[in-house]
Structure 1
C-alpha cells in the first residue's frame, strides 16, 4: 500500500488551509465536523499539524470563528467606509450585508451553532466572542451616534439602542436562515427599516 503523500505548504498556508477546512467541515457536518481526521483530510495535511500550529482542535475552532467573524466585519466595514452618503445609508448597508445571500447560507448556520455552543465551556471562545461582539457593537453605536447628530435627534446614549439592534439582527438572521419561506429576506429588511424608523422617532430617547 502506498503511503499517502501530503501536500507541502509553508506555515501560514497550512494554518490558513486548516482554518478553511474546519469551516468547510462544520458547514457540511455541523458538530460531526469537529473531527481531526475530517479536517486534516480536507486540508490534505497530516493530523499532527493541528497540534503543531494551534495546540488543540479547540484552538483551531476558535481561530476559525475569529476568521469568519473578521471576514464579515472587514468586508462590511470597507463597504461602509467607502460610502460617501449619510449615516442612515451606511447603517442600511450594514443591514443588507447582514442578510446577504452569502451570510444567509443555511450551511453556514451549522458552523455558527457549533461556535455558539462552545462559548459556555471555553473561556477562550467566550473571550473571542466578546471581542467580536464589541467590534460590531462599537460600529453600530458609532453609526447611531452619527445618525443622531446628522438628524438632530435627542439621543446621546446609544448603547442600549445598539444592543437592541444586535439582538434584532441576530434573531432575524437565525429565523431567516431556518426558513426563508416564513421570513424571507425582503421582510427581514423591512423589519430592520422599521427599527431604524422607530429609532429616529425617539424610542431610545
Structure 2
C-alpha cells in the first residue's frame, strides 16, 4: 500500500509575516500606553510586551513617533467603529440621545479607548510630533461623529445642531474619564450623564426626577 506523502505546510508570505509583526507591535504599544502611560512607554517595553526582538520596531517603524502614529490610527479605527455601534444600538431607543450617551460612555470613554485617548492627548501637550498625530486623530473622530450624528440623532435640541450636541457630550465625557481612577462608583457618572441629557431638553420629563448632586452616591 502506497502512503501519500504529507502535504506541505502552507507558509505565510513575507508580506503577511511583516503585517503580523506590525500588528503585534501596535497592540503592544497600546497595552503599554494603558499600563505605563506615554511617559513610561519605551521601545524596550513594547518589544518585551510583543515578544519580539529589540530591532523589530526599527524595521517596521522609522521612529517612536512612527510607532505612536500607527497606534493612534488603530485608536481612531476602534473609536470610529464603536461610535457607529453606539448609534446603531441607540437609534430605536425611546430616548436615542440618552441611550447613545450612556453607550458611548460605557464602551469608549470609561473603557480602554478612553485611557488611550487621554494618554495621547496628554502627550500632545509637550511633544510636537505627537501633537500633529493627535490633531489628525481627533479630526477623524469629529468627522465620523458629525456624519453619524446627522444620520441617527436628527434634531435633539432646538438651538443646537446634532453634531454640536455630540461634540459637547464627548467633551463632557472626556473630562469625566479623567476622574475614573479616583474610584467613584459607575452610578455617579451615569447619573450626571442623565442630568446632562435632561439639561438639553426635548423631552416631557426635562424638569422632573432630576437627582440632586448632593444625593448622588
Do the structures match in fold with TM over 0.5? yes
Tell me the secondary structure at the aligned position of residue 95 of structure 1: helix
Tell me, yes or no, if the aligned pair for 1:18 and 1:50 is still in contact at 8 Å.
yes
Structure 1 residue 188, shift from structure 2 partner: 1.0
Tell me, yes or no, if the aligned pair for 2:114 and 2:174 is still in contact at 8 Å.
no
Q: Equivalent residue for 1:50?
A: 57
Question: May I ask how many residue pairs the two structures share in their alignment?
Answer: 188
Q: What aligned pairs does 1:52-201 form with structure 2 within 5 A after superposition?
A: 52-81=59-88, 85=92, 88-89=95-96, 92-100=99-107, 104=110, 109=115, 111-141=116-146, 143=149, 147=153, 149=155, 153-155=157-159, 157-158=161-162, 160-175=164-179, 177-181=180-184, 184-200=185-201
Tell me, yes or no, if the aligned pair for 2:69 and 2:133 is still in contact at 8 Å.
yes
Tell me, yes or no, if the aligned pair for 1:62 and 1:128 is still in contact at 8 Å.
yes
Distance in 2 between residues matched to 1:145 and 1:50, nearest whole Å: 40
Tell me the secondary structure at the aligned position of residue 47 of structure 1: coil
Structure 1 residue 55, shift from structure 2 partner: 0.7
For structure 2, the 5+ residue unaligned runs are: 1-13, 204-217
Structure 1 residue 170, shift from structure 2 partner: 0.6
Tell me the secondary structure at the aligned position of residue 53 of structure 2: coil
Distance in 2 between residues matched to 1:201 and 1:107, nearest whole Å: 30
Q: TM-score, normalised by structure 1?
A: 0.71
> Higher mean Cα deviation, 157-166 or 69-78?
157-166
Q: Equivalent residue for 2:213?
A: none
Match of 1:28 among 32, 35, 45: 35
Structure 1 residue 11, shift from structure 2 partner: 0.9
Q: Equivalent residue for 2:8?
A: none
Tell me the secondary structure at the aligned position of residue 11 of structure 1: helix
Distance in 1 between residues matched to 2:94 and 2:75, nearest whole Å: 25
Tell me the secondary structure at the aligned position of residue 99 of structure 1: helix
Distance in 1 between residues matched to 2:33 and 2:177, nearest whole Å: 18
Distance in 2 between residues matched to 1:146 and 1:191, nearest whole Å: 23
Tell me, yes or no, if the aligned pair for 1:79 and 1:93 is still in contact at 8 Å.
yes
For structure 1, the 5+ residue unaligned runs are: 1-7
Distance in 1 between residues matched to 2:151 and 2:85, nearest whole Å: 19
Tell me the secondary structure at the aligned position of residue 155 of structure 1: coil
Q: Which structure is larger by alpha-carbon Rg, 1 or 2? A: 2
Match of 2:48 among 41, 49, 57: 41
Distance in 2 between residues matched to 1:13 and 1:42, nearest whole Å: 15
> Which structure is higher in RCO with an 8 Å CA cutoff and minimum separation 6?
1
